[in-house]
């Protein structure tokens, strides 16, 4: 389902605006990365998608649901069934005595009976790769990466149509990050809309169809990763952003005289480019 921000402004209790004149359409069934330096308004923007925050003015439309300053709290249950959110700090999202009970909470809250809720929770825990040996353990006895998996499972168990992930790779080791990216790709293939807040540009390249760049509470640009990462260094510095590692390495090579027709964005693309050059030099 498409998400539309229409002239959205937001401020906390009349203070300086955090979001300013946001007009934005987020495509359904795709992965959109939301990037920008700390304080750019990324998390605030995404918290409007499931009604955790309401616009000071303007409106947010999630299919047929309209969120504005007058929206009543009791009407937000239907929206939150559609929109799942995994916060940046998973320990703030966990509360139950056991992992399984924590993950069951969402399905139970949205009307499933205990048996079906348990089945949904077990499926979600398997999907995030948390072994069964941890299901009866307190979530607060887990590592940070494991807690993040539990928080994600708790959202997936309710089968949301839209999934908001706020820095989901924090606390995950390289394998955990790879598993997360594979899961995001799988969710997209199933038709889930994924909104990904991240500072990791490699993840943007790996899974994002579109990118929204936020700065000073406003949308600075909406584009694709392929177009975004061809900007020059001054553009990235302006918004406190960085290139993916492969792109940064290519920039170092370019400074030493090795020119690229297009900046490679992945290790694989950089390797292909360099191998082609080495092969060409040998042929000469």
CA separation, residue 280 to residues 90, 135, 273 (Å): 50, 56, 11
Q: According to the model, what pLDDT value does residue 283 have?
A: 45
214 and 195 Cβ atoms separated by less than 8 Å: no
Q: How far does Cα 23 stand from its chain's mean position?
A: 19
Q: According to the model, what pLDDT value does residue 183 have?
A: 92
pTM for the whole structure: 0.90
3-state secondary structure of 32: strand
- Going by C-alpha positions, the residue among 85, 60, 78 that lies closest to residue 70 is 60
- What is the rounded CA–CA span in Å between residue 125 and residue 111? 20
- What is the rounded CA–CA span in Å between residue 253 and residue 44? 38
By annotation, the residues acting in catalysis are: 167
**In what helix (H) or strand (E) does residue 220 lie, and over which residues does it extend?**
strand 218-223
- Going by C-alpha positions, the residue among 20, 218, 49 that lies closest to residue 9 is 20
List all residues 6 or more positions away from 195 whose beta carbon is below 8 Å from its beta carbon. Answer: 3, 26, 31, 32, 34, 46, 49, 162, 163, 164, 165
The pairs formed by 266-270 with CB atoms below 8 angstroms and a separation of 24 or more are: 266/202, 266/205, 266/206, 270/246
Q: According to the model, what pLDDT value does residue 260 have?
A: 83
Interval 205-224 mean pLDDT: 96
pLDDT at 157 over 50: yes
Q: According to the model, what pLDDT value does residue 1 have?
A: 59
Interval 162-181 mean pLDDT: 89
pLDDT at 195 over 80: yes
Cβ-based burial of 234 (10 A; exposed 0-12, middle 13-18, buried ≥19): exposed
- Going by C-alpha positions, the residue among 83, 57, 33 that lies closest to residue 184 is 33
End-to-end CA distance of the chain: 54
**In what helix (H) or strand (E) does residue 179 lie, and over which residues does it extend?**
helix 174-189
Higher pLDDT among residues 51 and 268, named by residue:
51
| Digit-coded pLDDT (tens) for 58-115 | 999 998 999 999 999 999 998 999 999 998 887 788 999 999 999 999 999 999 999 9
**In what helix (H) or strand (E) does residue 119 lie, and over which residues does it extend?**
helix 114-127
pLDDT at 271 over 70: yes
| Digit-coded pLDDT (tens) for 117-138 | 999 999 999 999 899 999 999 9
Q: According to the model, what pLDDT value does residue 88 have?
A: 82
List b or e across 165-199, with b for residues whose CB sees 16 or more CB atoms inside 10 angstroms: bbbbbbbbeeebbebbbebbeebbeeebbbbbbbb
Q: According to the model, what pLDDT value does residue 165 have?
A: 96
Interval 177-195 mean pLDDT: 94
List all residues 6 or more positions away from 68 whose beta carbon is below 8 Å from its beta carbon. Answer: 54, 55, 58, 59, 60
Q: What is the mean pLDDT of the chain?
A: 91
Q: According to the model, what pLDDT value does residue 280 have?
A: 53
| Digit-coded pLDDT (tens) for 24-64 | 999 999 999 999 999 999 999 999 999 999 999 999 999 89
How many CA within 13 A on the CB side of residue 215?
A: 11
3-state secondary structure of 183: helix
Neighbours of 84 (CB within 10 A): 22
244 and 266 Cβ atoms separated by less than 8 Å: yes
List all residues 6 or more positions away from 194 whose beta carbon is below 8 Å from its beta carbon. Answer: 30, 31, 32, 162, 163, 165, 184, 187, 188, 207
DSSP code for 166: E
Interval 161-171 mean pLDDT: 91
pLDDT at 282 over 50: no
């Amino acid at each position: 389902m498409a998400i539309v921000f229409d002239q959205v402004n937001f401020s906390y209790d009349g203070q300086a605006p955090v979001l300013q004149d946001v007009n934005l359409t987020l495509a359904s069934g795709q992965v959109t990365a939301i990037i920008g330096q700390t304080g750019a308004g990324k998390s605030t923007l995404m918290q409007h998608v499931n009604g955790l925050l309401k616009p000071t003015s303007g409106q947010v439309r999630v299919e047929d649901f309209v969120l504005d300053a007058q929206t009543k709290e009791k009407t937000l249950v239907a929206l939150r069934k559609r929109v799942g959110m995994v916060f940046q700090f998973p320990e703030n999202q966990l509360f139950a005595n056991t992992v399984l009970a924590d993950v069951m909470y969402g399905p139970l809250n949205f009307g499933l009976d205990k048996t079906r809720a348990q089945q949904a929770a077990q499926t979600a825990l398997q999907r995030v790769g948390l072994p069964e040996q941890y299901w009866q353990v307190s979530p607060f006895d887990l590592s940070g990466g494991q807690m993040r998996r539990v928080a994600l499972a708790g959202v997936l168990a309710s089968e949301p149509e839209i999934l908001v992930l706020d820095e989901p790779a924090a606390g995950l080791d390289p394998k955990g990050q790879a598993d997360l990216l594979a899961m995001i790709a799988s969710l997209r293939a199933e038709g889930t809309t994924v909104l990904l807040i991240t500072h990791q540009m490699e993840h943007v390249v790996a899974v994002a169809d579109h990118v929204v760049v936020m700065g000073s509470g406003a949308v600075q640009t909406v584009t694709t990763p392929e177009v975004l990462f061809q900007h020059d260094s001054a553009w990235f510095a302006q918004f406190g952003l960085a290139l993916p590692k492969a792109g940064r390495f290519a920039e170092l090579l370019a400074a030493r005289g090795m020119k690229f027709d297009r900046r490679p964005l992945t290790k694989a693309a950089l390797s292909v480019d360099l191998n082609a050059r080495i092969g060409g030099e040998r042929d000469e």
